[in-house]
Amino acid sequence: MANKMSLMVPKVMKPRYSSICSDEELLDDDSDCYVSIAEKRGSWSEDFGSIPSCQNSIYLPVTGHVSAPLPQEDLASTLTPVIKVGWLYKNPPQGSLIYQRRWVKLDAEYLRYFDTEKDVYSKRIIPTASITGVVNVGDQKFEVVTHNRTFLFRAESDVERSEWVTVLKNCIGASRTQAGLDLTFNPSTTSEMRGYLELRGLRSKLYTVVCGDKVFLYKNTEDYRLGIGITSIDMNVGNVKEVDRRAFDLTTPYRIFSFIADTEQLKDQWVEAMRDSIAEALSNFEVAEQIWSLPANQICADCGTAKPEWAAINLCVVFCKRCAGEHRGLGPSISKVRSLKMDKKVWTEDLIQLFLTLGNERANQFWAANVPPSEALAVDSSSEERRRFITAKYREGKYRRYHPLFGNQRELNNALCINVQSNDVCETLALVFCGADVNCDTGDPDLPSPITLAQHHGQNPQVELLAQNRNTELPRSEVEVAIDTLHYMAPPSITHNGFLFKTASMARPITEKKSKEEFSRRWCVLNDGHFSYYESDKNATPNGGLKMREIVCLAVNPAEAHGYDHTFELYSDSERLYLFGTDNPEAAHEWVKSIARSFIPVAAEVLLLKDFERIGQLRYKDGLNLETSRLGWFCLVGSSLHICLEEHNRDETIDLQKLLELSIQPDNDVLVLVERGRTLYIEGERKLDFQGWAAAIQRAAGSSGDTLSLQQLTEADIPVIVERCIHFTTQYGLISEGIYRKSGLNSKIAALLEDFRRNARCVWLKEGEHQVDDVSNVLKRFFRDIEEGLFGQQSHNWLTTTAISDESSRMSQYRVLFSNLPRVNQATLRALVNHLYCVQRFSDLNQMNLHNLAIVFGPTLFQMDGKDYNAGRVIEDLIQHYVTIFDVNEQQLKRQLDEITYIIKLRENLNPKAGPASGDFICTVYLEEKKETAEQHVKIPATMTAAELTFEILDRRKISVKEKDYWCCFEVHEKEEIERPLHYQERVLPIVHSLSTDSYLLLKKHFSMEAMLVYLASKVEVSKHGMMKFREERNLLGLSTGSFHDRYFILTSASLRLYKDVRSNRPEREWSVKCLKVYHGIKKKLRPPTWYLCCDTQTEMREWFATFLSIQNGGRVWPTEWLKSRAVSRSTPLDARFGNVSLIPLRGSENEMRNSVAAFTADPLALFRNV
């Protein structure tokens, strides 16, 4: 962790951020300024550390410690243990007298030294193989001599010195015995590239060598030839990204190396070579090295090529890559090909032991006992020759040494049973591949098979050899049917039969209505997982059929979709669609149930209980498992999507009408469903059934327009249209005379209503664009048209209640009726009456008293003409006794009314001449903490910036401001315990509009601002990368609690990218930075908004915030002259970006998400970036 901090400390005097290696830092030759740099670093850290941290506004979750990989661990992964490390003084460079303190590290291969013990990249790397001598030279000094150069070190004591000399001498003695002087010698190297590359920030180019799993940097070719490098980069932590035409970055957790190649072509080659190197670094040498420890395994068993990296784990031979290709061609029933490097999992200790016991030499004594020289392969044999030879050798067994018992099955089996009790695996190999049955009966009930016998006698290599050949095809034996490896839990056997009408199967979705003539009558039989259809019930041979386990989806069409009243579609995994129909509803129902039961696995059978219109399997991903998709069973019932996960025996439901977002990523066919707290990615594994699902889900997520409950709903179960109209009217209509009585413009009302019906989530009511009277009439018309009305089927009972003269009995009756309403009706009625209550409270302004409102809303809500005043009477009662009937919290109501009062009063006071449509909004802002005495009511004009608001309040409170008081306006979300400082140029009004009831604006000092400004000032290019803890919503379907995961982030001026780890080549996610809103968590409690990031220290977090802020605002984080800006701020042209809330939130409150959706309808691509 300490290491991480030191790496993150901004470098002083560096030309560029990404040029993390400056001349001084990287090269060790002309380093006069070392001491001074070290000092600066130190003092910098102290400065930074002394900045008061804002304990109250930034929180670190308990789980939030990023454990950045320690460099020591990474180095250990090179498999060379460190022999000795410690501080030494290196002789001064030319022209200097000061010894340089260096952290020196020695392993069997290299002697390296570093600036500090925390550094990962050395200043010098000397292969032990190139060291020719180590000499004591007095005064605790010693020399390390290489062919061309001598390095002088001074230890802190004689003891220390003699220890170093001893270990170094031992080391060079040992490395002498090894082959090769080349620093980059690596016998298993496959990727290699060398040449000069420019490293940003360095004056001269570096000679760069990609070799195996490392990249080496040298000062020049001369140094390379002599083997004295600057540093080596372990590519197992590397990640290569192209930057522009000639530039690319090699990113590691510790540094970004920004290279520039001479030409575009060379850049491509470098990038490829480095990516190969990463792949190589990630492959596994451990197994290969063990297998190769037997010399016979160091050459290909078939052609003799050195360092073969592949093996047939059943045939017990090791071979080269080219021969591996031919082995694969034989199929796994003959040769089970595995990589020594990549298939680490198969290489158990026993299997490795088997390969060491047998080895290529002994295996070939059997397999290649009789190879005519004319047929033998050589290193340079052609593919054709290889194919012929390998087929003859293993498929036909042409060259094998025949066992004396060959042809005598009983004796072979008998011999096998006896031999497996010994350790003679050669004999077993010969027996098995000459026909002994691996699964033969031993005659011993306790140890019935050769494998159990071998186990019993502790012969593990024997067990391994037998197990690998349980299903092997013997040479020359008849070809058997391959074992079916499909895992499928057979559902209980379902039998059903009857006549159905069927069309020809199709490869495309059905878009047109199929007439009866297009169907043919077929006798259909469902039995034992097979669905067959016959010409008639007399025929014995089916015309065709389907295996139930090939069915991936069953869709029930709405009645009368086709010529036959009841039709359903079956989708197979081979992308065929079958349409069946009947006029008999019971028969159709029976068939649907039977077919569904026969392809839905037991684990998902709970779905079968539902009255689904579509059921089947889909692959999906969720937030924390983006790498691998999983199989899930889905069914759609109305607007509910039920999901059964592969491994869980319970279903989860997504209410599609309450989705915050629903989109299809067109390039890769992924359906994205965003619900509060969950995001689900459904993959279009197959096109045909996916199209069907996507269309059905989209349909289900829309408003079907008939009844209240079929609308798109808010979280509170209120139709989106109702909520938006009420919200708008509350803001702009309460002082509008005759609100709800005046008629709007009919064409506008109709158009707006139509927009809402099409997709209410996408309709944004805006002041100026929409008129209060149009909106109020949309609301009325919506209620008038809604099927079944707001009071539902019991509306008559509401009307008759008015006849009860005793007020309290009447009220109880209303309460009973209210409690009997469906959920959505309840929520909607409560919201509407609350709104009307507020409207009439301000009737002195809008003239709409209780009675007037009742006249308007009675007939509207009861969907009658105005003749029966009982309707009006109900509304009058509901409004008048709103508190009683709806159990309203009076304090809450008072607050609501107070707010409205302030809005109106202040608007009149401040703006006596402006009409009601002036668009200013009055808002409550708190000073320093949320309490009544700290309340300020401020009129917010549309153009007001956060800085203006801040000054307005400070002025009012007569608070004098000093230059370093970073007063800032925060948007605080109490419930979610997060806050966000508004940017000084950010417009306040859109924020105010997006605040929910538990959010507010708060003015306080921004305690991290100073630190952030200092941090930013030190950076030439603002970007940042590093590990953070990342958490997305609760685990999908809430099955387990989500936790934080380490992820690697790169934040640049363009985007924030998330990588699974530092090695990943492709980001898992990418967000456009300008589209993110970044919040601080305030307390420890975590609720599930969309994304959480957290850092291990406050400094870290501050740096990330600073970087975000700076990028999002083009570097303008704080006004350069803060106090002067107060005078000019009002005239400063405003950044248009903040005018319309075009910010995608980094969290997912409904308001935020809605805003973001709206903002991004203009730029759909940006939306995808966000999901």
In the complex, the residues that contact Zn ion under the rule CB under 5 A are 300, 302-303, 305, 319-320, 323
Q: How far is the CB of 319 from Zn ion (least distance, A)?
A: 5
User: Distance between CA atoms of 408 and 411, rounded to whole angstroms?
Assistant: 6
> Looking at beta carbons only, is 367 or 591 nearer to Zn ion?
367
Q: How far is the CB of 303 from Zn ion (least distance, A)?
A: 3
Q: How far is the CB of 595 from Zn ion (least distance, A)?
A: 52
> Looking at beta carbons only, is 31 or 305 nearer to Zn ion?
305
User: Distance between CA atoms of 558 and 564, rounded to whole angstroms?
Assistant: 11
Q: How far is the CB of 342 from Zn ion (least distance, A)?
A: 18
Handedness of CA 59, 60, 63, 66 (dihedral sign): positive
Give residue 210's identity as a one-letter amino acid code.
V
CB half-sphere exposure, 936, CA atoms < 13 A: 22
> Looking at beta carbons only, is 244 or 384 nearer to Zn ion?
384
Q: How far is the CB of 473 from Zn ion (least distance, A)?
A: 22
Strand 206-211 to 214-218 pairing: antiparallel
> Looking at beta carbons only, is 131 or 300 nearer to Zn ion?
300
Q: Are 20 and 255 in contact (CB under 8 A)?
A: yes
> Looking at beta carbons only, is 209 or 317 nearer to Zn ion?
317
Q: How far is the CB of 308 from Zn ion (least distance, A)?
A: 6
> Looking at beta carbons only, is 126 or 300 nearer to Zn ion?
300
Element of type H or E holding 960: none
Q: Are 749 and 802 in contact (CB under 8 A)?
A: no
How far, rounded to the nearest angstrom, does the alpha carbon of residue 477 sit from its chain's CA centroid?
50
Q: How far is the CB of 299 from Zn ion (least distance, A)?
A: 8
Q: How far is the CB of 34 from Zn ion (least distance, A)?
A: 53
> Looking at beta carbons only, is 316 or 856 nearer to Zn ion?
316
CB half-sphere exposure, 168, CA atoms < 13 A: 27
CB half-sphere exposure, 245, CA atoms < 13 A: 3
Of the candidates 6, 164, 155, 153, the residue with the CA atom closest to the CA atom of residue 71: 6
User: Distance between CA atoms of 70 and 72, rounded to whole angstroms?
Assistant: 5
User: Distance between CA atoms of 1050 and 255, rounded to whole angstroms?
Assistant: 12
Q: How far is the CB of 472 from Zn ion (least distance, A)?
A: 21
> Looking at beta carbons only, is 342 or 1013 nearer to Zn ion?
342
> Looking at beta carbons only, is 289 or 385 nearer to Zn ion?
385
> Looking at beta carbons only, is 303 or 1117 nearer to Zn ion?
303
Q: How far is the CB of 691 from Zn ion (least distance, A)?
A: 47
Q: How far is the CB of 335 from Zn ion (least distance, A)?
A: 13
Q: How far is the CB of 377 from Zn ion (least distance, A)?
A: 7
Q: At a CB cut-off of 8 Å and minimum separation 6, what does 686 contact?
A: 552, 571, 573, 575
> 913-950 b/e with 16+ CB inside 10 Å = b?
eeebebbbbbbbbbbeeeeeebebebbbbeebbbbbbb
User: Distance between CA atoms of 1078 and 1152, rounded to whole angstroms?
Assistant: 12
Q: How far is the CB of 314 from Zn ion (least distance, A)?
A: 18
Q: Are 1046 and 1058 in contact (CB under 8 A)?
A: no
> Looking at beta carbons only, is 214 or 398 nearer to Zn ion?
398
- Beta-carbon neighbour count of residue 159 at 10 Å? 10
> Looking at beta carbons only, is 239 or 305 nearer to Zn ion?
305
User: Distance between CA atoms of 1074 and 1111, rounded to whole angstroms?
Assistant: 8
> Looking at beta carbons only, is 305 or 945 nearer to Zn ion?
305
> Looking at beta carbons only, is 224 or 310 nearer to Zn ion?
310
Q: How far is the CB of 341 from Zn ion (least distance, A)?
A: 16
Q: How far is the CB of 71 from Zn ion (least distance, A)?
A: 39
> Looking at beta carbons only, is 319 or 690 nearer to Zn ion?
319
Q: Measured between alpha carbons, how far is residue 482 from residues 387, 396, 485 in Å?
A: 22, 18, 9
> Looking at beta carbons only, is 340 or 688 nearer to Zn ion?
340
User: Distance between CA atoms of 162 and 155, rounded to whole angstroms?
Assistant: 9
Helical H segments across 842-930, by residue range: 843-846, 850-862, 870-880, 882-885, 890-910
CA angle 411, 426, 320 (to 5 degrees): 130
How far, rounded to the nearest angstrom, does the alpha carbon of residue 411 sit from its chain's CA centroid?
60
Q: How far is the CB of 510 from Zn ion (least distance, A)?
A: 54
10-16's contacts with Cβ under 8 Å and 24+ in sequence apart are 10/44, 10/1015, 10/1018, 10/1019, 11/1018, 12/37, 12/40, 12/41, 12/44, 12/1018, 13/40, 14/201, 14/1020, 15/200, 15/201, 15/1020, 16/200, 16/201, 16/258, 16/1020, 16/1021
Q: How far is the CB of 292 from Zn ion (least distance, A)?
A: 15
> Looking at beta carbons only, is 302 or 689 nearer to Zn ion?
302
Q: Measured between alpha carbons, how far is residue 769 from residues 313, 734, 766, 775 in Å?
A: 73, 18, 5, 11
Q: Are 1023 and 947 in contact (CB under 8 A)?
A: no
> Looking at beta carbons only, is 278 or 303 nearer to Zn ion?
303
- Beta-carbon neighbour count of residue 537 at 10 Å? 12
CB half-sphere exposure, 766, CA atoms < 13 A: 14
Q: Are 80 and 107 in contact (CB under 8 A)?
A: yes
Q: At a CB cut-off of 8 Å and minimum separation 6, what does 1029 contact?
A: 61, 63, 64, 65, 66, 1044, 1045, 1046, 1047, 1092, 1093, 1094, 1095, 1096
Q: How far is the CB of 386 from Zn ion (least distance, A)?
A: 7
Q: Name residue 1070's beta-bridge partners.
A: 1057
